Amino acid sequence: MAFSRISKLDPPSRGILRKAAVMLGSLLTSLFLLHCLTDRCGTTAPSPVKAQDLTSQTRTKRLVYEWTGGTGYGAARRSSRVLADERAGQVVEDSLILPPPDLVASRRRVSPRFAGQLSPLGEGSKKLPQALIIGVKKGGTRALLEFLRVHPDIRAVGAEPHFFDRNYDNGLEWYRELMPKTLEGQITMEKTPSYFVTREAPARISAMSRDTKLIVVVRDPVTRAISDYTQTLSKKPDIPSFESLTFKNRTTGLIDTSWSAIQIGIYAKHLDNWLQYFPMDQILFVSGERLISDPAGELGRVQDFLGLKRIITDKHFYFNQTKGFPCLKKAEGSSKPHCLGKTKGRTHPNIDPEVVQRLRDFYRPFNMKFYQMTGRFFGWDD
């Protein structure tokens, strides 16, 4: 009888089994999290353990997840605190709290090999330009750049880098360092008008990126040549007259196309060189005349070309009667009106009307070809 009492043991109570199950589950969860903390469980967050229903008769184990705000889901930690349930005299263990899936996605861990390459939030990074204003000199490139800089999604260098014509040997990293910092979605730009007439520039820009968008501001080539001469005259008052520089021989009327002021205006010739490297739909031609008479209209075309929202509109401009140019009501980073500098809008010298007509006759066939190539009539021969 005594032997039978010894051999028959009471079965374990349900409470003991339940506590053992809870402890085993907690141990397995802790091991899994330790595995994640050593970066061995990939980039997908573990699925949360579903909490079982609590009834009035039985309070079962409750699993929740706690997010610690670390650098990735692996920063989730197990918060193990034992709370006494005074009414039931049972033990309830709080475990993990998992962050919402969208928060997990926004905080995914960055691979260590990119560490140190990301800029602080809001600071941005320097990128090679996605768009270039490549010409032409005295066409209105400075005005276009200043107007575009009002757009919040455009960041541009103020000075002309002259990378693809004069400083190419310095390398692309040197060029990148000249650029302003941009945020995701912003466009980096620069303008150097001499690119359009530099024979090597198209190949060099294409080597940087074939997707680069190109903007050319063009102007009546006769007016442009006179404006070019006027700028040079302001720096070198002793240069020969415009008339004498225009002709190789005034008696025969042969135009000197080696003079840069004349040569730049042969737009069709220069465009031929660019079309060997870039398709026409990657080049936008802006009218220098319309940039003065309808700046918002031309800026609308540019914003469309760059894939940007039309933010720069009529409300940004007012016309300065003294200078004869549109000005910005508010410049980039300023609440004050802004007009182009005193070097813009110089008074042109009086040029012999016969010389002007000779130049118009010279440029006419080149202009016609340019209209055909671009599909746009600029009206310089009216």
Give the type of residue at 121. L
How far is it, in rounded angstroms, from Cα 47 to Cα 317?
57
Give the type of residue at 231. Q
Is 346 part of any known ligand binding site? yes
Is 348 part of any known ligand binding site? yes
Cis amide linkage into residue 136, ω under 30° from 0: yes
Contact present, 176 and 126 (Cβ < 8 Å): yes
How far is it, in rounded angstroms, from Cα 19 to Cα 59?
12
How far is it, in rounded angstroms, from Cα 360 to Cα 381?
7
Task: Please give the backbone phi and psi of residue 156, each rounded to the nearest 5 degrees, phi first.
Answer: -135, 150
235 is catalytic: no
Is 345 part of any known ligand binding site? yes
Instruction: Find the catalytic residue in 138, 323, 329, 330.
Output: 138
Q: Would you mind telling me the total number of residues written for the chain in this entry? A: 382
Is 379 part of any known ligand binding site? no
Instruction: Please give the structure tokens belonging to residue 224.
Output: 């442009």
Contact present, 190 and 131 (Cβ < 8 Å): no
Rg (CA), the chain: 36
Is 219 part of any known ligand binding site? yes
CB atoms within 10 A of CB 195: 28
Q: What is the DSSP secondary-structure string of 339-369?
A: ---TTTTPPPPP--HHHHHHHHHHHHHHHHH
What 8-state DSSP symbol labels residue 89? T
Is 139 part of any known ligand binding site? yes
Is 235 part of any known ligand binding site? no
Sign, CA dihedral 288-291-293-294, equals: positive
Is 347 part of any known ligand binding site? yes
Is 301 part of any known ligand binding site? no
**Closest to 211 (Cα-Cα) out of 274, 275, 282:** 282
Is 142 part of any known ligand binding site? yes
**Closest to 154 (Cα-Cα) out of 164, 162, 144:** 144
What 8-state DSSP symbol labels residue 336? S
Annotated binding site: 138-142, 219, 227, 344-348
Annotated binding site for 3'-phosphoadenylyl sulfate: 138-142, 219, 227, 344-348
Please list the active-site residues.
138
